Amino acid sequence: MQLKITTWNINSVRLRIDLVAKFIKSSRPDVLCLQETKCPDDKFPLKRFQRLGYQHVALNGQKGYHGVVVLSRLPFERFDIQSFCGKTDCRHISAVLGERAGLRDPITVHNFYVPAGGDIPDPKANPKFAHKLAFLDEMRERAGLRPGAASRAVLVGDLNVAPLEHDVWSHKQMIRVVSHTPVECEKLALARNAGNWIDSMRVLTPEPEKLYTWWSYRAADWKAADRGRRLDHIWTSPALADRVSKIKIAKDYRGAARPSDHVPVTATIEI
């Protein structure tokens, strides 16, 4: 059995619902994790997703900002929301797939939207950057993000850090830019290591090959410039590390009409 999980920062689900529908019809993931949905739960386009085959929905949204959702063709056993830094700003949701989904051993899927951090990489001068660093610290410290050796778990989302040299178009020029500063990269690595998470994208595509999932709206011609960053991630617990057979970055969706600045990233897991 294969399980296809997609992560995508959609930058307003209602604005881009037609683009999401196009992707779903083409790629048909079993589980779709969206970030930056930007709508409260009672305004989420549930009926449209149900018509597309996603009857099972775990929502954590708010008006205008942030927001995460897990949509599934398979039924959940349960879902959970965690808050970070003393804020209820809709940056995490998790869902468990188990017996109801036909799985003997359950799989927990965590969906994250880590704070972007603003433009100034100084926590004293920029509260947004301080918030981001504190959020990454809490991810490292949170016991619920440390799956046991036999536990099957996947952590996906817009983590807003491009941690490796070849996750950005120019390490030298980006090292002082928020998303690739040494302190962010170190804190993300500490969070990943604390949970023994495996960076599945880099297992299948090791450095020095470049990997990007985000291209700025500011570029006059994003494709020609190709100044991307790998801000979207798929991590697995050790029990699933050798089960990820494929990861696809759907770069073409950056060139769609009214696109998100992120593109869908899909993992195929042999379960």
Sequence ranges of the domains in the chain: 2-270
Its pTM stands at 0.98
Tokens of 92: 């995490």
CATH class given for the domain over 2-270: alpha beta
Structural element, H or E, at residue 246: strand 244-249
Answer whether residue 262 shows pLDDT above 90.
Answer: yes
Answer whether residue 108 shows pLDDT above 90.
Answer: yes
Quick one: what percent of the chain has pLDDT higher than 90? 98
Closest CA to 32 of 80, 91, 72, 75: 72
Model pLDDT, residue 202: 98
Model pLDDT, residue 194: 97
Model pLDDT, residue 14: 98
Mean of per-residue pLDDT scores for the chain: 97
Burial of 189 from C-beta contacts in 10 A (0-12 / 13-18 / 19+): middle
Looking at residues 28-49, what average pLDDT do you find?
Answer: 98
- Sorting pLDDT into bands at 50, 70 and 90, what band is 35? very high
Answer whether residue 149 shows pLDDT above 90.
Answer: no
Answer whether residue 232 shows pLDDT above 90.
Answer: yes
- Sorting pLDDT into bands at 50, 70 and 90, what band is 92? very high
